[in-house]
Amino acid sequence: MPTGIEITCHRRFGQFLITQQPSLMVGQTEEARLRWGAPVFVPLAAGVRNQCIVQFPYMGRACGVGEFTAELRDGEIQAFNYKTPFIVYSRGKIVRTR
């Protein structure tokens, strides 16, 4: 059974200038590509404290940074929703849904 997280990313209404897809950084090195409006499963190790950062590129820099920690048991899948901030240079909002 897979172990990991499922993330769904949402842009606020009217943020049509955000054209590039968001990304997820796990720890310092691993990066996963996410998609706007679609859930993406990212496999992670069980029994490890995974520090995760969601962000999207805008005008040459990382914006809407949101951070969370996921500690998973073997076979567990945690689901999260990420929402962009009103001002793109502010912090994004991440909520665990299950």
User: Are 84 and 64 a contacting pair, CB within 8 Å?
Assistant: yes
In the chain, where do the E strands start and end?
4-10, 23-26, 30-33, 39-43, 49-58, 61-71, 77-83, 93-96
Strand, coil or helix: 33: strand
Domain range list for the chain: 4-96
- For residues 49-59, give the mean pLDDT: 95
User: Are 42 and 7 a contacting pair, CB within 8 Å?
Assistant: yes
Q: Is the pLDDT of residue 84 over 80?
A: yes
pLDDT at 56: 96
- For residues 38-49, give the mean pLDDT: 94
Class at the top of the CATH hierarchy for domain 4-96: mainly beta
